[in-house]
Structure 1
């Protein structure tokens, strides 16, 4: 009991500097992606308040023209601050709390894996987990880049490793169900993290597979958990894969300008700027002094044979070298990135620092475990880690975000405008909307207009045949109902002389015709067959995973009751 209190106390103590930095001001500190996350959290929250419990269309984006952004955003990182905000907490504070929650989860998850998955000592596991959250890349992810999704991925990755070990220790249907739920949660967190950490998951599974007495059973359990986890996330991943072609997308060659030069991995420089082509970067890509010491110590122990050459250490060391090669500017790395499409999805080669710091934290725990680190040593080393990181523990200027500003923001909350539908000619030209529905030809009154996240309704009083344009971007799924009946519409383009307006871009919107009279119109954003299939698969995956967990629990309870009766 005392040891548990001590563990909780140490974890709480190492998180205190982050608590202070987050809440020293009521405003949100300026970061690269911070404004995007604020806008996305606001839209997520607003959709919830409208009764749309799983947002698919962001109606305020692009200055009111809307965006299909939520079809492709992995939802877990935005669901957390939304739930907190629904409890009555200011949504800026809710977003800050979400960063803290994921950081605390990263600390706990790393400890669980090192302690229970690798059987390291309590002190060694704590040291590894502290080194993890104090790695410069993790600090940068919070206070420089402000990437909530990637931080969530960093938090859940060790939980995946822990879940895999649980399958190794005891392969039961219940643990398959639990592992599937954790995989599903991870797949719904961040697409980059899935790609970045997959090699670690695979190598760790392979390592345990080689140790398992019944290899086939363990292998099938891991594969089953991954498949079920993939099924759980299908409502997001299926549209992401099959409907991405409807978007303008992002330049897949962006990686060429964002390789790291070898000296940058050890450069202690720190800044709040951006990644730039060449070496003109204003942000840090360092591995970190503590992590470099951990790598050096493991290499020394292996070369001097003072540590058992465990296959996992060797496997992770090889992975570390591969990750570093993929980051550093070199003809080999250029060739690999140019020929592996999946790597281009990562966009920035330096994102591989995420799995690198996980491996380094593992190495730190290995060294601590080798030298049987005691509590006093843990406290000293933890303070040393915090002192080394103190110059990085600072925030940029605080920015006040007015709640009333967010619905009128012209932004699409992305860096590369990748969620603009392909039918739109321009990517950033969205003028102020004076009217949601415009009468292009003829004479009519638009009354009783109500706009919600996925639905716009209004009444048209047409004095003669009219042509109307709805200032909402078209994307597959929009359906038009006139007087309760589904009706056709056209997608506008700038070459259409009837609809063209030389003063602005009117492409990619929706237009339709009406005869004279009074008509009730409803524009509904519905699911496409792909989205319906994804939701159906997700439902099956969730139900099967929960049944695997609950059925085992129910069976165990029945056996216990029967045992008492028979006794």
Structure 2
């Protein structure tokens, strides 16, 4: 019954998405264009799209290699079913929102019971920052990422019990980690340390079989990292070829949050420094209840310690978003890659929901239902103004088949040898910049461009595609070496140029995987193999998981 009520409630804030057109969040229109480019590659048979051929004014862009593919895969699935790109994007937002509430309910109800689970789910879904992601920022990756932390936590909790019937919990850990890594780069790096901390707590204080829990936990975690390696390995290691560290350098310094903004800040659709950062009235009530329980003499001592630790973690997360933490941001370079300190609100929402579940489960039973009802009422009433976009823009689907005048990011994924953004559409797919030749364009796909070039003299050709490692040029079946393809000419920054001898020639320009990307794909295949073999092992030998016999309970 509680689950039905929870699902019903979760639909209400999504009703605004039925409005026709694109919700004009900060990034929503760009996400639709990126998804369309992603789908175009899938339609061409490219299972792991890495190059967005239509973006950046038609010059192409490697953004698909660096930004979370899971939302694009899901949206592409919806589009293949017949939904428009706009509606497919909306469906990803809607489905992931409901799924995140259900995932938190699954974890919290397993840990503390149905009523605390319901409260934790409501806190998780109705935190103001969730509606910032949904209707203000249009942050589809962060929005999808909210599904996986509670799913991973549930898997770890069930694994710590060491029961034979809980074998699927391990797969929740593995697939949850893979899903988190494929949903959002920064959020996954923020969340994983806290999930590791939770795993450590379970190991020392809850696990029935510590050795078994340790082995199984790490085994499934490795599977998760392996399965998602096709994305995170190139995204991390080939980022050095982009403007990422240049564009985002020092960005965090102007994005710190004043303490009072966590208590109250007005709802609006402004930019990163303007939109609300408050944890919500419900969140404040949970913090207040936790403090009361900590100081109350009748609260169980272990519960007091647990509440105190989680409250301290929450305070530490909020601290990381304020200027007090500036020395840490300056000293730890990986923090700077998060760009915005307020991104830690994603972690704060998760921790606050966990705190709510623990706090309510620590109340005397006669007060539990009343407090849950109060939180539910306050969460709904105080967030109603947040349940809609500022406005919607109708879009003709045909525009997503055409070159898009933007990179769909702030330029951080642009090749380091190019300018941050191209500024106009190319006159032609390829041009003569020196000499005399006729160019007859052939087939053109996202990652393959063919031409027949009849050169009357030795001619220099410019392919109007940005160079990035993996692009190759073949003339009459013979591949040009790295010195024969130029892409750092200051007059044609980032664009590929090459010379061609007199005569008629067949030219193929193609984007292929580098050795690193090939290795990353192979690691993911190994991860999938491990997943299948582990599944078969569990089915054949249910009493033994990853070589560790389970205790009888």
TM-score exceeds 0.5: yes
Paired residue for 1:257, among 250, 254, 258?
254
Paired residue total: 532
Paired residue for 1:244, among 232, 239, 242?
239
Distance of 1:144 and 1:122 partners within structure 2: 32
- Comparing 7-16 with 304-313, greater Cα deviation is found at 304-313
> Given that residues 360 and 371 in structure 2 are in contact (C-alpha distance below 8 angstroms), is that contact kept between their aligned partners in structure 1?
no
Residue matched to 2:215: 220
> Given that residues 192 and 346 in structure 1 are in contact (C-alpha distance below 8 angstroms), is that contact kept between their aligned partners in structure 2?
yes
Question: Does 2:351 align with 1:354?
Answer: no
> Given that residues 203 and 315 in structure 1 are in contact (C-alpha distance below 8 angstroms), is that contact kept between their aligned partners in structure 2?
no
- SS of 2:461's equivalent in the other structure is strand
Residue matched to 1:481: 474
- SS of 1:491's equivalent in the other structure is coil
Q: Go from structure 1 to structure 2 and tell me whether the alpha carbon gap of 1:247 and 1:209 turns closer, same or farther (over 3 Å shift).
A: same
Unaligned runs of 5+ residues in structure 2 are: 544-553
What aligned pairs does 1:337-348 form with structure 2 within 5 A after superposition?
Answer: 337-348=329-340
Q: Deviations over 1:256-298 (max 9, x none)?
A: 100011111112411100123xxxxx21010110001101101
- SS of 1:468's equivalent in the other structure is strand
Question: Does 2:9 align with 1:31?
Answer: no
Distance of 1:375 and 1:325 partners within structure 2: 32
What aligned pairs does 1:13-412 form with structure 2 within 5 A after superposition?
Answer: 13-23=8-18, 25-116=19-110, 118=111, 120-170=112-162, 175-211=169-205, 212-249=207-244, 250-276=247-273, 282-308=274-300, 309-310=302-303, 311-330=305-324, 333-369=325-361, 370-372=363-365, 378=372, 381-406=375-400, 407-412=402-407
Distance of 2:172 and 2:413 partners within structure 1: 34
TM-score (norm 1): 0.89
> Given that residues 436 and 471 in structure 1 are in contact (C-alpha distance below 8 angstroms), is that contact kept between their aligned partners in structure 2?
yes
> Given that residues 248 and 336 in structure 2 are in contact (C-alpha distance below 8 angstroms), is that contact kept between their aligned partners in structure 1?
no
Tell me the CA shift for residue 394 of structure 1.
2.5
Question: Does 2:526 align with 1:534?
Answer: no
Unaligned runs of 5+ residues in structure 1 are: 1-5, 277-281, 501-505, 558-567
> Given that residues 49 and 64 in structure 2 are in contact (C-alpha distance below 8 angstroms), is that contact kept between their aligned partners in structure 1?
yes
Tell me the CA shift for residue 387 of structure 1.
1.0
Distance of 2:237 and 2:386 partners within structure 1: 41
Residue matched to 1:452: 445
Tell me the CA shift for residue 404 of structure 1.
3.0
Distance of 1:65 and 1:512 partners within structure 2: 17
> Given that residues 127 and 382 in structure 1 are in contact (C-alpha distance below 8 angstroms), is that contact kept between their aligned partners in structure 2?
yes
> Given that residues 57 and 422 in structure 2 are in contact (C-alpha distance below 8 angstroms), is that contact kept between their aligned partners in structure 1?
no
Tell me the CA shift for residue 314 of structure 1.
3.2
Distance of 1:381 and 1:410 partners within structure 2: 45
- Comparing 468-477 with 352-361, greater Cα deviation is found at 352-361
Question: What is the RMSD of the two structures over their aligned residues, measured on CA atoms?
Answer: 2.1
Distance of 2:142 and 2:169 partners within structure 1: 26
- Comparing 211-220 with 31-40, greater Cα deviation is found at 211-220
Distance of 1:305 and 1:450 partners within structure 2: 77
TM-score (norm 2): 0.92
Distance of 1:267 and 1:191 partners within structure 2: 29
Paired residue for 2:493, among 480, 503, 507?
507
Distance of 1:525 and 1:296 partners within structure 2: 56
Tell me the CA shift for residue 121 of structure 1.
2.1
Distance of 1:108 and 1:178 partners within structure 2: 14
Residue matched to 1:418: 412
Q: Deviations over 1:99-145 (max 9, x none)?
A: 011111111110011112x1x22122112101210000111110111
Distance of 2:37 and 2:2 partners within structure 1: 38
